[in-house]
Amino acid sequence: MAIPLLILYINSNTEFHEVLRLPVLIEHYQEHKKLVSDISFWEFLVMHYKTNVSHDANDNKLPFKDPAHSFTASVLALPLPKIALQEKELISQVSHISFYSARFISSPLSKIFQPPKLG
């Protein structure tokens, strides 16, 4: 299901549909080859695509030749937000007020609860 939708989208929103007209280009080149036997394919392309002169009625049926099949692309341009970082100096004052007072209470258990000692 996705592939047919992709082909439909490409065919309608791009110039891919002009590729389907390549057999017309080959057929028209063969007609010119019958009229002028020593014309190369490159000369044929230059004659039909470099100039805007129409050589016969079938010239507008060639791929990428019909001006009605012009390609327009929709573009959405969003401005990028500009982020400016400014360095600011942080000024802070630290004030420490403590109401702690060391009190020593003598207890018979004070000899048990001691920090470890090196032997």
- Taking only the tens place, the pLDDT of each residue in 37-63 is 888 888 888 888 787 777 777 777 787
Band (67; pLDDT cuts 50, 70, 90) = low
pLDDT at 3: 82
Q: How would DSSP label each residue in 58-106?
A: GGGGSTTT-TTS---------PPPP------------------------
Highest mean pLDDT: which of 8-12, 65-69, 80-84, 95-99?
80-84
User: What is the predicted pLDDT for the residue at 108?
Assistant: 72
**Residue 42 counted as domain residue:** yes
98: pLDDT strictly greater than 70 = yes
- Domain limits for position 33: 26-70
- DSSP string of 20-71, one letter each residue: GGHHHHHHHHHHHHHHSTT--HHHHHHHHHTS----SGGGGGSTTT-TTS--
Residue 36 covered by a domain = yes
Residue 49 is assigned to a structural domain of this protein: yes
More confident residue, 34 or 8: 34
In total, how many domains does the chain have? 1
Within a domain: 12: no
| Residue 11 within any structural domain of the chain | no
Is 45 contained in some domain? yes
* Domain annotation covers residue 82: no
Does 111 reside within a domain?
Answer: no
